[in-house]
Amino acid sequence: MVSKQAFGKTQDGTAVDIFTLTNSNGLEVRAITYGGIIVSLRTPDRNGKLEDIVLGFDKLDGYLGKHPYFGAIIGRYGNRIGNAKFALDGVEYKLAANNGPNALHGGLKGFDKAVWKAQSFENDKGVGVVFTHTSPDGEEGYPGNLSAKVTYTLTNQNELIFDYEATTDKPSPINLTQHTYFNLAGAGKGDVLGHEVMLNADSFTPVDKNLIPTGEIRKVAGTPLDFTKPTAIGARINQDDEQLKLAGGYDHNFVINRKGEGLALAARVYEPTSGRVLEVSTTQPGVQFYTGNFLDGTLTGKGGRAIQKRSGFCLETQHFPDSPNKPEFPSTILRPGETFRSETVLKFSVQEP
């Protein structure tokens, strides 16, 4: 089932709608046209009790204010571009430096702050909503008129599927992702340090003091970034390790182990108290594992509760950060006549203790 309601207006009076997607098992996803933001995601625990497992706000006002990209579609370029500039075909492009010296998540007004056009659908696969948005040539410093389409599908197999597409009329970098913060115990139910994480990644891209990849692809073996076997987030997060200190915890791009193209498992997360399990598969080469290190209790979230440090984690499927300045990384350049496509699948289940 899919329904649509009004959810308020932006400061300039643009109407924002909310779509509620419900599958045959009672899973419920609510997403708004502002930023394509997932404002709630209700899944059952091992006793069948439904609970909202994503961080965010009760009303639109919270999302219109300053917040760390809760639930949003990120573009044109997810993650960081070093020194807020890149060169393409001999031309240098300057971007807004909105993260120290870096450009982060598309700039001052990225896709997370756009009001997307939206159309709901129901088909044999499930129910969903198609979000579309066009970013004009030069917006946030990026070249080309870029048309993006992001489809959210909730299946009766308890999967939430993100399908991304984009075209451009000038060569431009693109790195679309989704920035939902999860707490599988339930939003507002403490920190995520007890969640057990497995990342299907033998390597990661280490960062410098500005959290820009150095260009090295380093093995995780023997480091606190080794999640090849299920490990509690909190088990090593405070170890005396240069990479953890630079990021204040985990905020790193992991190189997904893959055999050929198509979907590959990126991560599996298990929360022992609720039994909830989240599996993430993607066609992308990387996943940014972020443990909410910059959350600090100053934002008031759902139910009037302060959003505390490490009370949520993100698994942002992506191409690697700073790829436009790192020719050794997989290319993120989209050219006229090409179509960018990627897919990420979130599968929800439960596990007995």
Report the C-alpha gap between 22 and 53 in whole angstroms: 15
What residues are annotated to the active site? 179, 316
Report the C-alpha gap between 95 and 88 in whole angstroms: 13
Closest among 274, 87, 284, 100 to 189, alpha carbons compared: 274
Q: Are 34 and 63 in contact (CB under 8 A)?
A: yes
Q: Are 160 and 153 in contact (CB under 8 A)?
A: yes
- Residue 64: its H or E element: helix 60-64
Residue where the block lists tokens 């979000």: 131
> Which residues does 57 contact at the CB level (< 8 Å), separation at least 6?
39, 63, 67, 70, 300, 301, 302
Report the C-alpha gap between 164 and 152 in whole angstroms: 9
Query: Which pair of structure tokens corresponds to residue 138?
Result: 């030069």
Instruction: Work out the number of other CB atoms within 10 angstroms of the CB of residue 92.
Output: 8
Query: Which pair of structure tokens corresponds to residue 176?
Result: 């679309």
Name the amino acid, one letter, at 306.
A
Query: Which pair of structure tokens corresponds to residue 323?
Result: 């790829």
What Å distances lie between residue 335 and 66, 67, 122, 142, 166, CA to CA? 33, 32, 32, 13, 10
